[in-house]
Amino acid sequence: MPRSTGRVTLPIQEGIDDQLRELVALLGADAVRNSDGTDLPAIASELVDTVYSTYFPARGDQDFALAHPETLINQYLMSERVTAPSDRPLVIEVLEGYFADQFQPCYERVERFWEVIDRTTGEVVPPQGWSVDRERGTLTIARPRAWHVYTVSFLAEQLWDSTQMYNYITNGWQDEPGRLKERPYDVRKNGVWEHSRAALAAWLEEHPEVDVVRFTTFFYHFTLVFNTEGRERFVDWFGYSASVSPEALDAFEAEYGYALRAEDFVDAGYYNSPFRPPSRAFRDWIDFTSRFVAARAKELVDLVHARGRRAMMFLGDNWIGTEPYGPHFASIGLDAVVGSAGSAATTRLISDIPGVECTEVRLLPYFFPDVFNHDGGDPVGQANDFWLSSRRAIVRRPLDRMGYGGYASLALEFPGFVARAAEICQEFRDIHDLSGGREPWCAPFTVGVLNSWGALRSWQTHMVAHAQWYKACYTYAGVLESLAGLPFTVRFLSFDEVLDSGVPEDIGVLVNAGAAATAFSGGPAWDDPRLAEALRAWVARGGGLIGVGEPSAWDKGGAFLQLGDVLGVDRERQLTLSTDRYPTLVPRHPITEDLPRDAQGMALLDHGEGAGGDVYALGPGTQVLSYADGSVRVAAKGFGRGRAVYFSGLPYSEVNSRTLQRALYWAAGREDLVEEWWTSSPHTEIAWYPRAGRFLVINNARQAVRTTVRGQGRTWDLEIGAMGCRWVEVGSRQDGQDGRPGRGGPSLPGGATRPDGGA
Amino acid sequence: MPRSTGRVTLPIQEGIDDQLRELVALLGADAVRNSDGTDLPAIASELVDTVYSTYFPARGDQDFALAHPETLINQYLMSERVTAPSDRPLVIEVLEGYFADQFQPCYERVERFWEVIDRTTGEVVPPQGWSVDRERGTLTIARPRAWHVYTVSFLAEQLWDSTQMYNYITNGWQDEPGRLKERPYDVRKNGVWEHSRAALAAWLEEHPEVDVVRFTTFFYHFTLVFNTEGRERFVDWFGYSASVSPEALDAFEAEYGYALRAEDFVDAGYYNSPFRPPSRAFRDWIDFTSRFVAARAKELVDLVHARGRRAMMFLGDNWIGTEPYGPHFASIGLDAVVGSAGSAATTRLISDIPGVECTEVRLLPYFFPDVFNHDGGDPVGQANDFWLSSRRAIVRRPLDRMGYGGYASLALEFPGFVARAAEICQEFRDIHDLSGGREPWCAPFTVGVLNSWGALRSWQTHMVAHAQWYKACYTYAGVLESLAGLPFTVRFLSFDEVLDSGVPEDIGVLVNAGAAATAFSGGPAWDDPRLAEALRAWVARGGGLIGVGEPSAWDKGGAFLQLGDVLGVDRERQLTLSTDRYPTLVPRHPITEDLPRDAQGMALLDHGEGAGGDVYALGPGTQVLSYADGSVRVAAKGFGRGRAVYFSGLPYSEVNSRTLQRALYWAAGREDLVEEWWTSSPHTEIAWYPRAGRFLVINNARQAVRTTVRGQGRTWDLEIGAMGCRWVEVGSRQDGQDGRPGRGGPSLPGGATRPDGGA
């Protein structure tokens, strides 16, 4: 039995009542939930203080969906790219390559909503130049130009909700009688909104046992498209392609005074991936959709509150329009947000959300048969992986609650997993209980992450399918993954913000990390000379700048990295090979103390996939701290009263994370901080709680380690078990050097006792 | 003593007469020469049939140079990039970082010839905004914009010829009394031209022993700039930066009707590197300079001819304006060209030069103390390296002559080297004697290499400092290095040519190989839709296309590789990560038969540095033949009646060269040719001489190999010694399947007997 209880939500289901009782006790759970495809058992309210229920505003009522096929949710799609082999009529089957179970074309006002583009010239083929055959699902271009490439951008209708399709396929529901392929409906369409309100009201009446309505989610799914074989074809967790409709586009035009084109969504096939520097039109659409979703979601939340329940949102699935760091999110009035923790960065993405009383992470693995099987599945290994990742973040910014998702019956088949989960739950509660309700000490300056998105996409850079690993991304994602567990206040800034108001006062170091031409490096933002001007001036006044990969990349005026003069490096693109390079190699430097050494004694950074090519120092004033294969990996340089550090890549690792910490200290001119609350072993990290007078050291390694802690001029030698942690009493509480208080309001439900408010 | 003699030129010098006699006999040399810094001994004419002498039209007369300091050769330079820390006057020392022994500023009409640019905005600062202090060598910008980056482009005067400086420093001449730092003078400047003509005439009178005047070279040196420490700072073997002068710029303006700016030469610091897509202005300048140099050089050559001597040009050093594949070269009327063979491609660069009677390669190593020393120098190893590289090319397109350069006295210290050189000379002569004076059989279609330069830079792609290895280049240079020894007629085509006249009839396969934004891939050339249109149509009609690296790269219309639809692949730039890829993997294919295999049985191409990032297949129709780390390395695809092959990189290796040969056959629809004159061992290559009725097999490996030759339905099993070769009589001569005849005219001097004409 656990030392304490509470703060934990478990998924439950019908038919295993006794086992559930045991599981709830073992994990100290105080809340339960159902999942997509399971129902709450009658004993739910007996088991715990609080009962959550999933609620699907966009697909929960399939009788309604089938009776109102005109309300299907739309989506913008682009056909395959088709090369015209002659100037004779070119027939394009618009849905070729897509999943027939997922989409059908929407033929409403095709002249307005469809668009044919000659991609070889960029010219739009006017509607008079093409015709649509609704029987065959084809579009014919009457007189194409031979050997030009054409695409058709078109509105489709979604016949199947993307997440439910994923769950259906993953769990093999085709063999279970009664399973529907659930159709989504659009609250903008005729009658849907009125029905949705009424349905929620009725459902609340019918479900008095539910304390918390877990919206999963609201109205529009992120972009998730399947191919002809039912395999994933396109996935963008941030994608707005399925938030469109003739109604929405008309409303946008009426409000904004200009009409959006299909190309504003299809974006030449890039579909406004978050890696694309965002267009004005797309930013407007995000704002337009977010305001609409927030207003409607608020009405549903109000209904929930009016009936004495609490409202929680799952951050995922049909979450489009609810960007939690956007300006409209708080207006929804949610009590809580729950999201999946696939990494430290995604854990911080949840825990840092402003404007809600309670945040909860759904830890992984999800109790699905892809992991919970006896044919090579390794639920314990995955639990350890994800806990070690998430714990780093939880220590820095405690979440109110944790939980799991999926089918409890599956988890119960793995007693080893259940035992490990019980340990994790206890460790999670301990962080709350022993920290004194305060966040740990942070460095006395804020780290600003600078990109095209800024605060809107806090903790969300370099993400494609949520926390999924991508070869192209890990080299950059490591920056946030490191920061998520380091003792810094982190703030996300957009280029526009810096242009409008300058670098905020609290920022000590700015980080620009990304590949050329992406929103994270900035792309065309660097064409504006005011940006480089502002940042040069800021660094010269004493600021710190850290660039990773291809920071400030924009081909202009003989430089590729526009802040190359500050960073001291530039990226070779086979255009400056004539210039000889004589880098100033600096084998020892405070930044690189933890890195391994090459045969020449130089520090050797693991830079992942690197910067996409070679990097050279621009002159002898650049200190090259890591240099391999004729290319700079780490460089440091003074610029006026400030400092700059360059990394060619920074995938997450224990040692890279510490190296980033050192670089942040150095760039801020505070390398002295390495003496304060620092652990000798890179496997370990420390959190110091001055008011509680104790610190926590976590061991991120799979083996026991010895580590020495330095702080306040004292040292502690500690041995910490594999993946373990140690709380150490310092003996004197210090109010002066305090961390921020934790989330102010009561958690939902919080602690081990039932909170006020009857949730 | 050698089996035969002739076709070999040796460098000689004073003071070692007896040893020279022995050396000439051993190597079968029939010509001798002096080098920069050595004089011909009196016995020169006794030793051999033909005596060459170096002649330096741009620096040969230092008395004249010192007496006429106003005739120094100019050069366009760019200052360091200087960031203005405020809007107060910004002082830029224009020569900072340059070698004071090499340059001084040229202050003639600074308002016209100097240019100050704000690189942060791209704006030119008008001359009223700056002033020049000639005492201090500084330029002051009166009111810069704070935190903008400025550069000064300025004319300098060359105080020291670049090659002579290199030789001086490399050989430590500072310790030899009487050695001058030779100043170059410009034939455009007052009196120089008249002096040059007269000096050559007088010199010819004074040197009756000289049969061949070896111009080294004419008037303008390629760009070779040294830094403050006398180390190389910038080297571009194609650079025209030192072909400028106020006189030339004025003449250009008068003729072309527009004035060139400093920026037309300085090019934001890229200095019109051949990797830069060439501007119209730069192309005009090349043509302007080439016409001028050709006209003046012709006059010198005429002088030589008038006195019964022959004229040879060294392709290098002061060769700017003599591009040998340009339209003006033949008009010079040279008898011969000699150039350095650093690779197979540079050997072909010499041997394929049109419009001269004789081509000669100077084999490496050069007899200089950097290689010929007893402190780790390895002249035999280098001789083997370079011979194996060059021999592949010589077999395909025989050179008339070979030779060496430098100081014979150094070579004589290494008897092992002399012995190896004797073998090489004999092997060289045998190729001439046994081939029947014909080139070997070639595939029945021409390979076209397509880039911005076309024929002008035949065999000269991806070169920086001649054949020097560059990490950024070898991945692409391997294409030409392979082709230089393969049985194909190779032709270099420019985009403009294809746009103007289409793909020539004889072309079977086009190759576009290069990194994005370079002249070799094409950069902005691909913005013209007519180019993709023409090439798609041509492939669809049955043509073959091979793309390497980032072929046809230009970011437009949702594609990065504009011919991606033909090649079946595109380059990932973190903008299409949302799209799932399911490549069609094809483990066995005629193209990849020689490649090693990975654990999954897929072919594994060594692609060098690769394409600068990941490559993905665009659909199931693309056959992915090599796939590693989630990225396509080789792909094949049909397109209409044609075929396309993609390689992510193709550094030269025996197996990559054969793989390119297979790909060329396959792309042309002639994979049947793999049965005809093909060797089983990738270490070996074959040349078939139908008229002579024999073939030559060369072994490129350092060990003996067994190989089976297939041809005409027969097979031959051969064993060939390390680095050796074998001539095999087939028994029947075949006139039908003949190779091209060799160079028509008599060589200079040719064969083992003294040619007509008294050279």
Cβ neighbors of A326 (< 8 A, separation 6 or more) are A286, A290, A456
* pLDDT band with cut points at 50, 70 and 90 for residue B109: very high
* pLDDT band with cut points at 50, 70 and 90 for residue A750: very low
**Better-predicted residue by pLDDT, A147 or B2:** A147
Task: Say whether residue A577 is in contact with chain B using an 8 A CB cutoff.
Answer: yes
Cα of B580 vs its chain's centroid, Å: 42
Question: Which residues of B are catalytically annotated?
Answer: 317
Q: CB-based burial of residue B717 (10 Å sphere; 0-12 exposed, 13-18 middle, 19+ buried)?
A: exposed
Which of residues 499 through 538 in chain A touch B, CB cutoff 8 A? 515-518, 529, 532-534, 536-537
Mean pLDDT, all residues of chain A: 94
Tell me if A557 and B273 make a contact (CB, 8 A cut-off).
no
The residue-averaged pLDDT of A94-101 equals: 96
Give pLDDT tens digits for B317-367. Answer: 999 999 999 999 999 999 999 999 999 999 999 999 999 999 999 999 999
Q: Is the pLDDT of residue A752 over 60?
A: no
Cβ density class B398-415: b for 16+ within 10 Å, e for less: bbbbbbbbbbbbbbbebe
The SS3 call for residue B322 is: coil
Q: Which of A270, A472, A532 sits opposite B120 (nearest CB)?
A: A532
Q: Is the pLDDT of residue B754 over 50?
A: no
In this prediction, residue B384 carries a pLDDT of 97
Domain formed by B446-673, architecture: 3-Layer(aba) Sandwich (3.40)
Smallest CA-to-CA distance from A162 within A239, A266, A70 is with: A239
* pLDDT band with cut points at 50, 70 and 90 for residue B759: very low
Smallest CA-to-CA distance from B21 within B29, A500, B340, A637 is with: B29
Whether B124 and B48 have beta carbons less than 8 Å apart is answered as no
Tell me if A471 and B556 make a contact (CB, 8 A cut-off).
no
Q: Is the pLDDT of residue A704 over 50?
A: yes
Give pLDDT tens digits for B650-675. Answer: 999 999 999 999 999 999 999 999 98
Cα of B19 vs its chain's centroid, Å: 34
The residue-averaged pLDDT of A275-280 equals: 97
State the Cα–Cα distance between residues A244 and A74, nearest whole angstrom. 6
Whether B342 and B383 have beta carbons less than 8 Å apart is answered as no
* pLDDT band with cut points at 50, 70 and 90 for residue B745: very low
Give pLDDT tens digits for B463-475. Answer: 999 889 999 999 9
In this prediction, residue B669 carries a pLDDT of 97
Q: Is the pLDDT of residue B751 over 50?
A: no
In this prediction, residue A759 carries a pLDDT of 25
Tell me phi and psi for residue A393, to 5 degrees.
-75, -40
Whether A744 and A358 have beta carbons less than 8 Å apart is answered as no
Q: Which of A146, A540, A612 sits opposite B85 (nearest CB)?
A: A540
Two tokens at B465?
């400092």
Least confident stretch, B35-49, B418-432, B495-509, B691-705 = B35-49
In this prediction, residue B753 carries a pLDDT of 32
The torsion of the CA quartet B282, B286, B291, B293, rounded to 10 degrees, works out to 130
Q: What percent of chain B has pLDDT over 90?
A: 90
In this prediction, residue A204 carries a pLDDT of 97
Given phi > 0 = left and psi -120 to 50 = alpha, else beta, which region is A325?
alpha
Longest dimension (CA), chain A: 86
Q: What percent of chain B has pLDDT over 70?
A: 96
State the Cα–Cα distance between residues A435 and B509, nearest whole angstrom. 71
In this prediction, residue A652 carries a pLDDT of 98
Cβ density class A144-165: b for 16+ within 10 Å, e for less: bbbbbbbbbbbbbbbbbbbbbb
* pLDDT band with cut points at 50, 70 and 90 for residue B750: very low
Four-way CATH pick for A8-60+190-232+277-435: 3.30.365.10, 3.20.20.80, 3.40.50.920, 3.50.50.60: 3.20.20.80
Q: Which of B148, B533, B537 sits opposite A533 (nearest CB)?
A: B148
Give pLDDT tens digits for A448-476. Answer: 999 999 999 999 999 999 889 999 999 99
Contacts of A464 in chain B (CB under 8 A): 577-578
Whether A731 and A693 have beta carbons less than 8 Å apart is answered as yes
Tell me if A579 and B147 make a contact (CB, 8 A cut-off).
no
In this prediction, residue B7 carries a pLDDT of 95
Q: Is the pLDDT of residue A481 over 90?
A: yes
Tell me if B575 and A273 make a contact (CB, 8 A cut-off).
yes
Mean pLDDT, all residues of chain B: 94
Two tokens at A699?
């061991």
Least confident stretch, A189-193, B446-450, B646-650, B733-737 = B733-737
For chain A, the domains span: 8-60+190-232+277-435, 446-673, 678-729
In this prediction, residue B738 carries a pLDDT of 53
In this prediction, residue A281 carries a pLDDT of 98
Which of residues 142 through 161 in chain A touch B, CB cutoff 8 A? 145-149, 151
Q: What type of residue is A620?
A: P
Q: Is the pLDDT of residue B398 over 50?
A: yes
State the Cα–Cα distance between residues B599 and A214, nearest whole angstrom. 48
State the Cα–Cα distance between residues A246 and B672, nearest whole angstrom. 58
The residue-averaged pLDDT of B500-526 equals: 98
Give pLDDT tens digits for B139-165. Answer: 999 999 999 999 999 999 999 999 999
Helix (H) or strand (E) holding B642: strand B642-647
The torsion of the CA quartet A747, A753, A755, A759, rounded to 10 degrees, works out to 90
Query: Closest Cα of chain B to A631: distance in Å?
Result: 10
* pLDDT band with cut points at 50, 70 and 90 for residue A743: low
Q: What angle do CA A410, A411, A417 make, to 5 degrees?
A: 145
**Better-predicted residue by pLDDT, B343 or B736:** B343
Four-residue CA torsion sign, B84, B89, B95, B98: negative
In this prediction, residue A169 carries a pLDDT of 87
* pLDDT band with cut points at 50, 70 and 90 for residue A178: confident
Task: Say whether residue A279 is in contact with chain B using an 8 A CB cutoff.
Answer: no
Whether A341 and A466 have beta carbons less than 8 Å apart is answered as no
State the Cα–Cα distance between residues B658 and B482, nearest whole angstrom. 8
Q: Is the pLDDT of residue B733 over 80?
A: no
Tell me if B223 and A148 make a contact (CB, 8 A cut-off).
no
Whether A83 and B536 have beta carbons less than 8 Å apart is answered as yes
Two tokens at B337?
């060209």
In this prediction, residue B737 carries a pLDDT of 52
The answer to whether the bond into B138 is cis (omega within 30° of 0) is no
The residue-averaged pLDDT of A124-144 equals: 98
State the Cα–Cα distance between residues A481 and A650, nearest whole angstrom. 10
Two tokens at B74?
């100019």
Task: Say whether residue B227 is in contact with chain A using an 8 A CB cutoff.
Answer: yes
**Nearest residue of B to residue A121, measured between CA atoms:** B529
Task: Say whether residue A690 is in contact with chain B using an 8 A CB cutoff.
Answer: no
Least confident stretch, A650-664, A679-693, A735-749, B439-453 = A735-749
Give pLDDT tens digits for B410-431. Answer: 999 999 999 999 999 999 999 9
Two tokens at B642?
């044609």
State the Cα–Cα distance between residues B226 and B160, nearest whole angstrom. 11
State the Cα–Cα distance between residues B58 and B61, nearest whole angstrom. 8
Two tokens at A354?
């402003």
Query: Closest Cα of chain B to A344: distance in Å?
Result: 22
Give pLDDT tens digits for B360-388. Answer: 999 999 999 999 999 999 999 999 999 99
Q: Is the pLDDT of residue A625 over 90?
A: yes
Whether A244 and A154 have beta carbons less than 8 Å apart is answered as no
In this prediction, residue B746 carries a pLDDT of 37
What angle, rounded to 10 degrees, do the helices at A654-667 and A474-483 form?
Answer: 70
DSSP A187-231: TTSTTHHHHHHHHHHHHHHH-TT-SEEEES--SBPPEEEEBTTSS
The residue-averaged pLDDT of B540-557 equals: 98
Whether B266 and B153 have beta carbons less than 8 Å apart is answered as yes
Task: Say whether residue A297 is in contact with chain B using an 8 A CB cutoff.
Answer: no
Helix (H) or strand (E) holding A564: helix A564-567
Question: What number of C-beta contacts closer than 8 Å exist between A and B?
Answer: 191
Q: Is the pLDDT of residue B636 over 90?
A: yes
Which of residues 533 through 572 in chain B touch A, CB cutoff 8 A? 533-534, 536-537, 540, 555-559, 562, 565, 572
Domain formed by A678-729, architecture: Sandwich (2.60)
The residue-averaged pLDDT of B12-40 equals: 92
Cα of A336 vs its chain's centroid, Å: 17
Kindly state the DSSP code that residue A127 receives in the 8-state scheme: G
State the Cα–Cα distance between residues B92 and A557, nearest whole angstrom. 18
The SS3 call for residue B401 is: strand
Pairing of strands B310-315, B336-341: parallel
Neighbouring C-beta atoms of residue A458, cutoff 10 Å: 23
Give pLDDT tens digits for A294-316. Answer: 999 999 999 999 999 999 999 99
Give pLDDT tens digits for A408-425. Answer: 999 999 999 999 999 999
Rg of chain A, C-alpha, whole Å? 27
pTM for the model stands at 0.95
* pLDDT band with cut points at 50, 70 and 90 for residue A37: confident
Q: What type of residue is B156?
A: A
Helix (H) or strand (E) holding B203: helix B192-206
State the Cα–Cα distance between residues A337 and A358, nearest whole angstrom. 7
Question: How far separated are the first and last CA of chain B, in Å rounded?
Answer: 25
Give pLDDT tens digits for B178-211. Answer: 888 999 999 999 899 999 999 999 999 999 999 9
